[in-house]
Amino acid sequence: MILFPPAKINLGLNVPFKREDGYHEIETCMYPIPFLDVLEILPAETFSFRQTGLVIPGNDADNLCVKAYNLINARYSIPPVYIHLRKEIPMGAGMGGGSADAAYVLKGLNEIFELEIAEEELELLAGELGSDCPFFIKNEAQIAKGRGEILSPCAVTLHGYFLKIVNPGIHIGTKEAYAGIQFGTLTKSIKEIVEGPISDWKSLLKNDFETNCFKKHPSLEELKAALYKEGAIYAAMSGSGSTMFGIFNHEPALTYQDKNGFVEKIVAL
Q: Which residues in 167-206 are b (16+ Cβ under 10 Å) and which e?
A: bbebebeeebbbeebeeeebeeebbebbeeebeebeebbb
User: If DSSP states are collapsed to H, E and C, what string results for 253-266?
Assistant: CCCCCCCCCCEEEE
| Residue 215 is among the residues annotated as catalytic for this protein | no
Helical H runs in 128-196? 135-138, 174-178, 190-194
| Residue 132 is among the residues annotated as catalytic for this protein | yes
Q: Which of 70, 82, 83 is nearest to 39 (CA)?
A: 83
What lies within 8 Å, CB to CB, of 42 at 6+ separation is: 1, 81, 82
Could you give the count of Cα atoms lying within 13 Å of 186 in the half-sphere of its Cβ? 25
Alpha carbon distance 263, 267 (integer Å): 13
Active-site residue (options: 8, 107, 164, 224): 8
13 contacts 243 by C-beta, under 8 angstroms: no
Active-site residue (options: 132, 145, 191, 224): 132
Q: Which residues are catalytic?
A: 8, 132
